[in-house]
Structure 1
């Protein structure tokens, strides 16, 4: 089974423009993320796919692998699908470009899902963690997921799901962590299928997979990634480094 990591890297960012090119201890954020993905030793190949000449040149000039997006894309899945359509690969792991402190353990858990999936039931695998405070549960920026007894996703929402009409019955609230591993065909199908109403309403690309019948296996983790979305996040990362 051939497994690769792809790091989608947009230059523009609403909250923190050019965040991937910011300095983090003498190297850019995107270069540190790329190098961290390689150091996990989990992948047969790692490369960055970007819409930016600056990011492309940053990776290539430091001996890395990168490709340029041909089209404009609304989602990371679209950008990755374009990049891998002609590559011989079985499983593609989406590594976030703004998370330079990669933890190998949850990535290994995602990969293991496919290695154990002898009947090819799983189209995608992704991560989730339990959240407990009302503030976390009610925050629409924390995407919630509900699952069936086999850990397959039933639905994702920015709303509170399940709704707590009856309290104190042991419901766990799970936050989706947007790290994915895909079968190649699931990515290519996503790329060719139009957006439908649920995805358009919630602005959650994973709903397109569900709307077209793809099966997403969820893996619970306690790992919380350290993403760089704001200048304050960069300051924290500098201290951590």
Structure 2
């Protein structure tokens, strides 16, 4: 079995909540460099940064990253990946891991785990990771995406709502049971290239729009998504400027 994989890091400058986020300084380096180094440490055969911005491309050039310039009109990071695999002429059976450009603390082992989970399951189009939910607040947090798997580990559904719904537990006390098997999705994906080539042609669907979760488009159109339980819990990424100080402290404590 061939376990080689490529990591693609989509990096946009024009984030609505945090413009210029990939270039923000963390421990003396731009954030995109931290993400790139994590990807390289995963054992990936290649690591590519996909961007539509010359400032990000110039920063990547200073630390030797390979950059693929993409269009600026992609509706999602997955569509950006689809352009990259065409430009790079990757074979249909190749595996690509999508590592978000705002994950400077992502453990390299999880990048490798997602790729291996897909390589070991030829029937899957996508592999991703999840972790157990430990608190009631997380169950009800709409920013924490929940999921339900079948007996083989394939995703049945993803939602921002509490799933599975503990009917009797919530009816009796409003508390529910954390032992109902709640899982939180981690936004790290491995794709087969042939699926990435098909993805831009898939119509957007109502459940995807309602939940604001693009993986539901893949499920609705029949894609098989394998969900592995993460070997460790990654620190949160950077969504807003308020997250910066927390990550700076974490990097300093880690000696980066």
Post-superposition shift, 1:108?
Answer: 2.2
Match of residue 96, structure 1, among 94, 100, 125: 100
1:166 is paired with a residue whose SS is helix
Aligned twin of 1:192? 201
Aligned twin of 2:24? 22
CA RMSD of aligned residues (A): 1.6
1:93 is paired with a residue whose SS is strand
Structure 1 unaligned spans of 5+: none
State yes or no: 1:171 paired with 2:180.
yes
State yes or no: 1:129 paired with 2:128.
no
Structure 2 unaligned spans of 5+: 170-176, 252-256
2 CA distance for matches of 1:201 and 1:122?
25
1:128 is paired with a residue whose SS is strand
Post-superposition shift, 1:33?
Answer: 1.0
Post-superposition shift, 1:95?
Answer: 0.7
1 CA distance for matches of 2:200 and 2:62?
30
Aligned twin of 2:66? 65
- Whether the 8 Å CA contact 2:136–2:178 is kept in 1: the answer is no
Post-superposition shift, 1:35?
Answer: 2.0
2 CA distance for matches of 1:190 and 1:34?
25
2 CA distance for matches of 1:5 and 1:127?
16
Post-superposition shift, 1:182?
Answer: 0.3
State yes or no: 1:106 paired with 2:115.
no
Match of residue 38, structure 2, among 14, 19, 36: 36
State yes or no: 1:226 paired with 2:236.
yes
Post-superposition shift, 1:169?
Answer: 8.9
State yes or no: 1:237 paired with 2:237.
no
Displaced runs of 4+ in structure 1, greater than 4 A?
A: none
- The number of residues matched between the two structures is 238
Post-superposition shift, 1:71?
Answer: 4.3
Which range moves more in the overlay, 195-204 or 9-18?
Answer: 9-18
Q: What is the TM-score when the length of structure 1 is the normalising length?
A: 0.93
2 CA distance for matches of 1:114 and 1:145?
18
2 CA distance for matches of 1:146 and 1:6?
27
